[in-house]
Amino acid sequence: MYKLNSHIDTDGREYRKNFVHYSSILLHYRQVMQQVMQGGPEKAIDKHRARNKLLPRERIDLLIDPGTPFLELSTLAAYEQYNNAFPSAGIVTGIGVIHGRETVIVANDATVKGGTYVKETIRKHIRAQEIAMQNNLPCVYMVDSGGVFLPNQAEVFPDRNDFGRIFFNQARLSAKGCPQISIVMGSSTAGGAYIPAMSDECIIVKNQGTIFIGGPPLVKAATGEVVTPEELGGAEVHTTKSGVADHFAENDQHAISICRSTFETLQPLEKQTLVIKEPEEPLYDPRELPGIIEADPKKQCNPYEIIARLTDGSRFHEFKARYATTLVTGFAHIMGYPVGIIANNGVLFAESSLKGTHFIELCNFRKIPLLFLQDITGFMVGKTYETSGLARDGSKLVHAVANTTVPKITIITKGSYGAGNYAMAGRAFDPNFLFMWPGARISVMGGEQAANVLAQVKIDQLTATGKPVNMEEIEKMKNEIREKYEKEGSPFYSSSRLWDDGIIEPSQTRQVVALAIATTLNKRFEEPRSGIYRM
């Protein structure tokens, strides 16, 4: 493979301007992350600790193998919603390694409204299970939850992908051979009681964990019976009488050690094999990436400069380098793992669509995971391109992305707009993982374009009906649209609603991509297939 040469002057005025601009974005992102990862209010945290309970991220740190990373997902779920009363949506999810095995971990945060579930909590929990399903992973549920957040019951209870879907997924995962293990470290109430009850194995903590369909208040209201939580569904009851739980733990630490011991009984998987090389650092420092990302939203980032700071040894074997140059395709290694890279270098034309389709087919047959680096305004528009069949050729790329049989990992580095989002493996196309950089944007089009389009539609309507056009009103309307798109195109807005799997810093991208690829190797890749291409 050839080594890429960087042409960036890191002492240059343009680089410094970009670096300063992006550094302010990173500072804000880090402040938000620090605030969110503290969990619930201080009073709730103190109460939690007074009960000798560990916080969810502390529990996860003890559960995973020492010295191994934890890939946390959707940390900013529910951010700037519910008056910020549900940091991380009251649940921590991610992928960690337990006895050498990649595992989905779901940990309730009881310091956040008692670990109850709002809409985003459910979406986050279900997304974690989807990742387990797609990548053939076991699941560990660290249960400490009061169930549904009752004031919002209409938004979380009855629909297909609401609370009940969690239990449906558990049953399906278990049937697929993805072990389901619960550690009950606090409440497991009402519908939430089915999480441990439907697990393959269940561990419960003495004088701390409880499992019941109806808690003491409901029992008293329904039957008049007065009973304590421990008498109704504590560890003693469920390990000696009901049999709902399988293992009795003295405390959080003991419960976690039992869970780790359980993983020693799991049988090895038939994994997908790749030719993995010795990892190398890039020739160019990934910490330079903030200066490479153009501060001007109208300017395209140079994909080669990004690739040079992501790949091992900054090497890149480019495919069709001289053809359809608005799409860059080629092979590389990231932390030893082989990867096929598809990166934007401008608007998508028919030729770039055909190039991308061809490259995806190569990766499918060679069993090489795909990495999409999104910075895309969309497909080219205009009479010349439509009459030459852009929609037909563009659909080939969309077909290929939809039917890819190797893993897809998508990083939105800057802009992600319109149909370009779909063609570059956006959320609707089921990438195994999708992450955004903190300065990225995502919307159907840019705010300025949307304002101009809707203003022109309004003007045309007024003109057609013979009504006067008030340009002040038109400009006011345009400003409102710009503000709306500015807010809704933010990566924080996206991550809050789980349109992605989280925001990551550019300098962390190599590690995140490597962890994601390792996760996808827990099952054999399917054989290549495709739909009908319109010729």
Token code pair at residue 520? 């996808």
Yes or no: say if 416 and 424 are a contact pair by the CB < 8 Å rule. yes
Split at pLDDT 50, 70, 90, the class of 241 is very high
pLDDT exceeds 90 at position 150: no
b/e per residue 261-285 (b: at least 16 CB within 10 A) = ebbeebeebeebebeeeeeeebbbe
471-488 and 447-464 are packed helices; what angle lies between their axes, rounded to 10 degrees?
A: 150
pLDDT exceeds 90 at position 425: yes
Split at pLDDT 50, 70, 90, the class of 427 is very high
* Per-residue confidence (pLDDT) for residue 391, from 0 to 100: 87
Backbone angles phi, psi at 174, to 5 degrees: -60, -40
DSSP string of 130-148?
HHHHHHT--EEEEEEE--B
* Per-residue confidence (pLDDT) for residue 387, from 0 to 100: 84
Split at pLDDT 50, 70, 90, the class of 503 is very high
Three-class DSSP category at 205? strand
Three-class DSSP category at 403? coil
Rounded Cα gap, residues 150 and 73, in angstroms: 25
Split at pLDDT 50, 70, 90, the class of 457 is very high
Backbone angles phi, psi at 214, to 5 degrees: -125, 125
Closest CA to 413 of 294, 284, 283, 288: 294
Our CA angle for 169, 425, 504, nearest 5°, is 80
Rounded Cα gap, residues 111 and 85, in angstroms: 11
What are the beta bridge partners of residue 372? 342, 410
Q: What Å distances lie between residue 479 and 13, 135, 470, 472, CA to CA?
A: 32, 44, 15, 11
Q: What Å distances lie between residue 516 and 162, 286, 424, 509, 534, CA to CA?
A: 26, 18, 18, 10, 33
| Element counts in the chain: helices (H) and strands (E) | 21, 16
What's the pLDDT tens digit per position in 445-454? 888 889 999 9
Closest CA to 208 of 191, 193, 188: 188
What's the pLDDT tens digit per position in 341-378? 999 999 999 999 999 999 999 999 999 999 999 999 88
Split at pLDDT 50, 70, 90, the class of 533 is confident
Token code pair at residue 347? 């608007």
Question: For the residues 106-130, what does the mean pLDDT come to?
Answer: 97
Containing 444, the helix (H) or strand (E) segment is none
What's the pLDDT tens digit per position in 160-215? 999 999 999 999 999 999 999 999 999 998 778 899 999 999 999 999 999 998 88
